[in-house]
Structure 1
């Protein structure tokens, strides 16, 4: 009989439920170049910097497309040289982070993973971002985070002030103060709440996007999925399924190689696992074991306009991946970031219903070349969760 855990009154195989891919982090030799790529070019915004010395450049840059404090972290590779034993063999992914619904789940998840002798990287509360979390290593050395309580940044674009950053480096004790209580206590301590980092994108708004003027002809709607090259797909699949509760949506065999696509919710997948042997065959950089990260824009029209815009900037395109190796993703095109990571731009992710079955491959859209001006709607077009609030 399988041992089940009570998670909010529901019996599950793990003592937590990973709800979504929250954010990803990558190492960069040139943080300034990474910042320009993701902000000036792709339109995300800087929400915070991590500095160990006020007189020195930042050690990390936190970037967001939404109200989450960050959906991407750009980390100095100098930190990887000091603390990440797998960096030198190409593990340039600093973290892949899954969100749970409660702090209790983080604590129980930490104990669950630790009891199974999985290497723990760190545990506690992270700043910038305010989230409680623990990190462990997967079989390839990728850091996997389970977190709760990501700081939210509202209309004024101001992050929490440094004075409210109470870093914790151990298993959280329960219960903790609510965020409302933290703010109340900070006010009583005369903390100036509006001294956090404020992001601004004051470049000219030359493009009309859905009736709103923006600096670019598109708006990033989501970060993810993450696609990784791994040494043993079967071992990695078992790790993410048995320990973190991801479910296999689909597997694809290509030229004798088996790739697996795993989900958390209705999106076809948040994680793609490809055998490392495919990296050279597909033409990806041998400097990184990361195949790529998806970035979703809000519509097919925006995707077409984004391609024209990014090609016009002279951005380097990534390898062309056969469509069967990107199941669940409709029209897509990739570009290369400053560290050689592939960024996959797309507009639509197939949605999985209550029965857990993906759309049969023969019923998926056939991608025309060149792309037409408009395309027919599918049953799940615009059905996935979308960006709430103003697009700019």
Structure 2
């Protein structure tokens, strides 16, 4: 047998082996086998109804469709201010908010994202100002930042600006996030946080046994 004949014989044998392998599926890519299986299941009524039921349960867990009011997010927070100019300066110069608009009453609309406003600052009515100085009945306003490192940088920056920062960065239990609190010029408690847990399609929070509370060094 010549050298050319030998090469041709090997090529023919390889083609025969490849054809045999294709027949028993050994050379078929796994992803194609999965695709064929999925397609065959799609035409199986029992599989179709089971899959549909699973998707329906997931959607129901993710959105409370039974309630007529379906809130997408907290849109904006409004504050009454004793010194509107001082408060506007704090939220723009120190915290970096941008002014979107100021209306005819001096109400200032602030933003930090794509929405027209996230904060609204309004002059406190004179009758309420007569009640004396002090914070409003506001527990906190929390704002998310990108990471724990960003949180550390932000805390140092606020301290350098003379802001009253309330303690160290803490790792909270519920939500598993990192936070620290500080005050605006009129005593309203603000909070920056990062790394908060997200609730998945099953609607379950982190178990209480996994809650960990501790302080973070700068």
Question: What's 2:39 paired with?
Answer: none
- Is 1:341 the counterpart of 2:188? The answer is yes
| Count of aligned positions | 156
1:322 offset after TM fit, Å?
8.0
Question: What's 2:108 paired with?
Answer: 61
CA distance in structure 2 between the aligned counterparts of 1:76 and 1:88, rounded to whole angstroms: 13
User: Which one has a larger percent strand, Structure 1 or Structure 2?
Assistant: 1
Question: What's 1:382 paired with?
Answer: none
Q: Do 1:318 and 1:342's aligned partners in 2 also have CA atoms closer than 8 Å? A: no
CA distance in structure 2 between the aligned counterparts of 1:369 and 1:299, rounded to whole angstroms: 13
Question: What's 2:65 paired with?
Answer: 12
CA distance in structure 2 between the aligned counterparts of 1:288 and 1:319, rounded to whole angstroms: 21
CA distance in structure 1 between the aligned counterparts of 2:163 and 2:110, rounded to whole angstroms: 20
Match of 1:43 among 76, 85, 96: 96
Q: Do 1:37 and 1:337's aligned partners in 2 also have CA atoms closer than 8 Å? A: yes
Match of 1:291 among 128, 132, 139: 139
Q: Do 2:134 and 2:186's aligned partners in 1 also have CA atoms closer than 8 Å? A: no
Structure 2 spans left out of the alignment, 5+ residues: 1-62
Question: What's 1:70 paired with?
Answer: 117
CA distance in structure 2 between the aligned counterparts of 1:302 and 1:330, rounded to whole angstroms: 13
1:65 offset after TM fit, Å?
0.4
Cα deviation, 1:248-294, whole Å, max 9, x if unaligned, reads: xxxxxxxxxxxxxxxxxxxxxxxxxxxxxxxxxxxxx9642211110
Question: What's 1:31 paired with?
Answer: 84
Question: What's 1:168 paired with?
Answer: none
1:312 offset after TM fit, Å?
1.2
CA distance in structure 1 between the aligned counterparts of 2:74 and 2:84, rounded to whole angstroms: 23
Q: Do 1:330 and 1:365's aligned partners in 2 also have CA atoms closer than 8 Å? A: no
CA distance in structure 2 between the aligned counterparts of 1:302 and 1:45, rounded to whole angstroms: 20
State TM-score, norm by structure 2: 0.62
CA distance in structure 2 between the aligned counterparts of 1:342 and 1:77, rounded to whole angstroms: 17
1:29 offset after TM fit, Å?
0.5
Match of 1:351 among 190, 193, 198: 198
Question: What's 1:216 paired with?
Answer: none
Q: CA RMSD in A?
A: 3.1
User: Which one has a larger percent helix, Structure 1 or Structure 2?
Assistant: 2
CA distance in structure 2 between the aligned counterparts of 1:67 and 1:304, rounded to whole angstroms: 25
Alpha carbons of structure 1 residues 340 and 321: separation in structure 2 relative to 1, 3 Å: farther
CA distance in structure 2 between the aligned counterparts of 1:11 and 1:362, rounded to whole angstroms: 27
Alpha carbons of structure 1 residues 21 and 76: separation in structure 2 relative to 1, 3 Å: same
Alpha carbons of structure 1 residues 364 and 11: separation in structure 2 relative to 1, 3 Å: closer
- Is 1:309 the counterpart of 2:157? The answer is yes
3-state secondary structure, aligned to 1:353: coil
Structure 1 spans left out of the alignment, 5+ residues: 1-9, 53-57, 91-284, 372-392
